[in-house]
Amino acid sequence: MPKDGSVTRDKILDAALKLILQKGFGSTSVDNVIAEVGITKGAFFYHFKSKRDMAVALIRKFVDNDNAHLIDGKSEVEKYSHDPLQQLLALISLFEQQFAELEDPYPGCLYAAFCYQGDMFDEEIRNIIAEQLQRWRQYIVDKVYEIMETRTPKMAVDVESLADLLTTTFEGAFIMSKTLDDPKLVAKHLRHYRNYIELLFSD
């Protein structure tokens, strides 16, 4: 087991994520996090200078995990096909399957939780979120342009907004899933997005 304090630091970040997704950043205090983890205030401030410092570390960890999902998904689907349309459809199907296996509604997304209270954050945090959303956008944009090299879409396509629609599908479905207490709703919405792309580029 690591002796450098990383276990405690990760526990703090995990607890903060859980609390922030439940009640928002503004309503989550350092004392709330300390109580959730079961540590002293001194232990918290050993790892983080402030609540803001914790927020930066938390969003960076969330982005790293999110980016790993994108990279792993790309690697997985590109093993099985060289066709960019099939790669994109398979990527969406992969995420759809993951969310279809949930037994409880997905707890939410830290990007949305932070953006809803954007006045509490500085440019550094907003830029970290924006850069990751751009990575998702750029991957889908590049893949759609690859598709369009050999397939003509059934109607005019704004490629960037089509790419962004994946993110908005996730974010909107997270909200509805929690509100309606339907753990399968995210997968259902992803299926609609996948079906739209398939119809758009079908022969």
What was the pLDDT predicted at 73? 94
Give residues with Cβ within 8 angstroms of 38, minimum separation 6.
none
> In this structure, are residues 91 and 71 in contact, taking their beta carbons and an 8 Å threshold?
no
DSSP-derived 3-state class of residue 146: helix
- CATH label, 1-48, candidates 3.30.9.40, 1.10.10.60, 3.40.30.10, 1.10.3080.10: 1.10.10.60
**What is the spatial distance between Cα 113 and Cα 64, in angstroms, rounded to a whole number?**
17
The model's pTM: 0.90
| 50: nearest Cα among 146, 143, 120 | 120
Tens of pLDDT, residues 147-159: 999 999 999 999 9
pLDDT at 4 over 70: no
What was the pLDDT predicted at 3? 53
Mean pLDDT calculated for residue range 155-175: 96
Q: Domain residues of the chain, as ranges?
A: 1-48, 51-201
What 187-192 contacts at long range (C-beta under 8 Å, 24+ apart), as own/partner pairs, is 187/96, 187/97, 187/99, 187/100, 187/102, 190/92, 190/95, 190/96, 190/99, 191/96
Judge: domain 51-201, CATH 3.40.50.10070.
no
pLDDT at 74 over 80: yes
Mean pLDDT calculated for residue range 187-201: 97
DSSP-derived 3-state class of residue 51: helix
Confidence bin at 1 (pLDDT 50/70/90): very low
pLDDT at 200 over 80: yes
Average of per-residue pLDDT values in the chain = 93
Tens of pLDDT, residues 7-39: 899 999 999 999 999 989 989 999 999 999 999
Confidence bin at 103 (pLDDT 50/70/90): very high
Q: Do 1-48 and 51-201 share a fold?
A: no
What was the pLDDT predicted at 121? 80
